[in-house]
Structure 1
Amino acid sequence: MLHLLQFLFLCLELSWIVHQCDAGHPTKPAQYQQLPSLREQASIEQAWRAERIAGIPALLRKYNVDAWLMIQREHAEDTIWWSIKNATAFDSHRRTVVLFHTNSSTTTGLSNPIVWVDNTDQVWPELRSTFEEHDFSRIVLNTDRNIAFAGGLHVGEYETLAEELGEMWMKRTVNEPMLAIEYVATRLDGYLPYYRKMQETVWAMLEEGFSHRVVRPGITSTEDLSWWFREKIQERNLTTWNQPRISVLVEDSYPGWEGTDDVIQEGDILHIDFGITAMGLNTDTQHMAYVLRTDQDLPEASAPQSLKDGLKKANRMQDIVLSNMKPGVTGNQVLQQSLDQMRSEGIEGQIFCHPIGDWGHDAGAVIGFLNLPEYVPVVGELPLFPNTYYSIELYAYHFVEERNETIRFRIEENAHWNKDTQSWQFVRGRQEKYHLIDKRKTFAGSLLVQSP
């Protein structure tokens, strides 16, 4: 079964390479992509899980530890649980204890991981016996104070563990956050064909939602449009981690997590930030749209040149960031090098890129934060890992002459690690042209339920 899945992955990969590009605005309209049935998805995810878990012993050896112990109870799971669980599992059952180790199961007879599911205290003598038999000297617990992915052991479980193991074994426990970070951050080769499908579906939603087929200037509100995207996500049998937030951009505005609630008018600059979730993967995308003015002597056929120049400036920032992203350098190093290059080119803006994968904001080095534009403690000092996906998220300031105001041109695209070029490249290109909304085009009935 695994060989068949690997063959299917290869076929999908080759198919996508033929018609997909890694940079620049895609030349063909996006089409909604059909993911496998839920049953097939679960089978594929299980194969991915097995491949990821098979690599844990090597990671343990890399970080010079013998075992990795996770303890959680239903509704109080360790953060790592969501990256190791079965595809059809939700919460953990009762108290679930998971122990990864470096001992070869072929010589010891131990499964890897060893899993106990128990709501009595029988797990503790069995755990102590396992420790005594194999004499683990360095046992990782997820107790880090700064990294969420390495700090998922709940206080009550930690205190219970300390009582049951005793001082000798607790002295052998260590905090090694890079273990959890590297495990969660690493993307498998088999992910990419499906991630491309997800990203094209995102673009298809954007191209449809930001069009005359959905938006009626003077009637449709940004809140109406946000709900259209929510319905479309559900309709495609997808879910979201980052709810659609649509804003009308005005001078130096940054609506943030709320978006705006404005009636969309001709001449508006629109912005969306949202992400979809499927097959244990997440996307995160920001695009911009423009509502053409049709009430002038010479109706607009495209966005004004100054808006095009602002988007082009943000695209240049994307180029700068990608050129500075190298495995092994820290997020702060990428940030500082990129900011220096922007200043030398006379570009003002802000960078806040993040890994993306199992989570929308995934494990790994962060490249800037909105509230920390020059230096990010802790997560900014982490090194970049290859085989990681990144959201290249940023904005450029640009003065819009037609409006006599400065706008933040906000864009975001997901990038994958290309082993051939040894660089991060966009999964489905990037936005270099505005989505244009033109009410002069035929409106064949409303696709949108308007607010009362």
Structure 2
Amino acid sequence: MKLGTIIVSQILALCMVCVAQLHPLEPAQYQRLPSLRESARIQNAWKDERVGRIPALLKKYNMDAWLMSQREHAEDTIWWSIKNATDFGAHRRTVTLFHTNTSSLAGKPNPLLWVDNTGAVWPELLNTLKTYHPKRIVLNVDRHIAFAGGLSVGEMAVLNIQLGDRWMGCTVNEPMVAVEFVASRVDGQLEYYRKMQEIVWAMLEEGFSHQVIEPGKTTTEDLEWWFRERMQTQNVTTWNQPRVSVIVESSFPGWQGTQDVIEEGDLLHIDFGITAMGLNTDTQHMAYVLRTNGTAPETDAPKSLKAGLRKANRMQDILLANMRAGLTGNQVLRMSLDQMKTEGIEGQIFSHPIGDWGHDAGAVIGFTNLPEYVPVLGELPILPNTYYSIELYAYHFVPERNETLRFRVEENAYWVAATGSWQFVRGRQERFHLVDQRKRQRTTFTVQGVS
């Protein structure tokens, strides 16, 4: 072997060993979120701060106004991000007009709001447009981006009739107004997002343990419903059903879980998130069920499994380093895949924004079915001041099983303006959750949802 090849091999091996240590040092504790009343007050303050940015956002994209019209049960996607915390649906017909606080609307309420079921809104809106005279009015009519395409066909027909060619001729499709508005966070949210992440970790540490899992009896479906029940006790909900799988070579993507009886020696995986205070999380962790019998009872996960997790952690480092604001999702994806190839890592990246929605507005970085290039959503820019779900897997051959497994991880990260970089909200998984049946035999307890 040539000297240069040896040096490169040693450097790559060192990269794998020197993965940043970001696993939390202390066990997670269940956090108490504010009361519903206090949460509503906090959420409304966040909403006001975000809405207050819209005039500057319109100017950034050379727009004069942003018009939305919706009815109860047919809300525009954006409505869910501009509503009060105590609103659970639009009322009658709700029309909102955001503006740039200039000309005849300087100092006026922003947005201007009409709630009506008689048609009185239209003469008032027309009069406002005549005095304000906007040249470019954003409508949410994009064909490709859901956050910018929430105007219903019915409301579009009504607008064509009521506003006529004069004002409909001024309407434009500028999806980045909606995308950037929904994606951008406010500073005060991070405090509570950290609490939510710690709740997630506390659930993972409890659920992936002898306290809940009895090998040979507990099923992956039992565990899924345990997580749902545990959310109830923590006064949080979810945006998708938890999915628990026993990881084998063929168990991907496992959208429905694997519905297996959990046994010693199993490698477990979960994909779930919680919802609270208008925010969402999305997390994937892995656990190992220790073999407690035989000639060599285990006290830790096998080294071959740990090596697979380290590869996934290295992929996280690579991706976060490449996620520079202004680059497109596809550019970040290409750079990361190229670096993985250089380091001899095989895997797939499918990361996405998170916040108001589990799959939030903004640039996606890969899809499970589009591993190298994503049309439209992958061509959006990485925005600062947002949250991302760093979702990916590394391939790793496990000789004891004679299988190449996917080591699947997902953690939420936030933008740090001071450094222009990303940090995990609560570290990341670098050690397997361990299920030790021997501890169960020494413990007396009752767990709701698992008999």
TM-score (norm 1): 0.93
What's 2:397 paired with?
399
* Distance of 1:107 and 1:254 partners within structure 2: 54
Picking from 198, 204, 215, the partner of 2:213 is 215
Tell me the percent identity.
71
* Distance of 1:421 and 1:300 partners within structure 2: 43
Residue 256 of structure 1, CA deviation: 2.9
What's 1:49 paired with?
47
* Distance of 1:256 and 1:126 partners within structure 2: 53
What's 1:258 paired with?
256
Residue 401 of structure 1, CA deviation: 1.0
Aligned counterparts, 1:8-407, within 5 A: 24-104=22-102, 108-407=106-405
Alpha-carbon displacement from aligned partner over 1:94-146 (angstroms, at most 9, x marks no partner): 00001000124997452110110011111111111110111111110000000
Residue 420 of structure 1, CA deviation: 2.2
What's 1:8 paired with?
none
* Distance of 2:247 and 2:106 partners within structure 1: 62
* Distance of 1:105 and 1:290 partners within structure 2: 64
Verify the 8 A CA contact 2:23 2:431 in the aligned structure 1: yes
- List alignment gaps of at least 5 residues for structure 1: 1-21
* Distance of 2:85 and 2:368 partners within structure 1: 34
**Matched residues, number:** 430
* Distance of 1:106 and 1:290 partners within structure 2: 65
What's 1:4 paired with?
none
Picking from 395, 406, 409, the partner of 2:407 is 409
What's 1:447 paired with?
447
What's 1:431 paired with?
429
| Change over 3 Å in CA distance of 1:239–1:181 after alignment to 2 | same
Alpha-carbon displacement from aligned partner over 1:176-227 (angstroms, at most 9, x marks no partner): 0000001011111111110000001100000000000110000100000110
Verify the 8 A CA contact 1:247 1:255 in the aligned structure 2: no
* Distance of 1:224 and 1:192 partners within structure 2: 32
| Change over 3 Å in CA distance of 1:422–1:46 after alignment to 2 | same
Residue 38 of structure 1, CA deviation: 0.8
What's 1:9 paired with?
none
Q: Which amino acid letter does the alignment assign opposite residue 89 of structure 2?
A: D
* Distance of 2:254 and 2:158 partners within structure 1: 41
Tell me the C-alpha RMSD between the 2 structures.
Answer: 1.3
State which drifts further: 315-324 or 244-253.
244-253
State which drifts further: 442-451 or 301-310.
442-451
* Distance of 2:253 and 2:370 partners within structure 1: 18
- SS of equivalent to 2:273: strand
Q: Which amino acid letter does the alignment assign opposite residue 438 of structure 1?
A: D
Alpha-carbon displacement from aligned partner over 1:162-187 (angstroms, at most 9, x marks no partner): 01111111110000000000101111
| Change over 3 Å in CA distance of 1:189–1:23 after alignment to 2 | farther
* Distance of 2:404 and 2:66 partners within structure 1: 51
Verify the 8 A CA contact 1:104 1:110 in the aligned structure 2: no
Residue 255 of structure 1, CA deviation: 4.0
- List alignment gaps of at least 5 residues for structure 2: 1-19
Residue 253 of structure 1, CA deviation: 2.0
Q: Which amino acid letter does the alignment assign opposite residue 234 of structure 1?
A: Q
- SS of equivalent to 1:72: strand
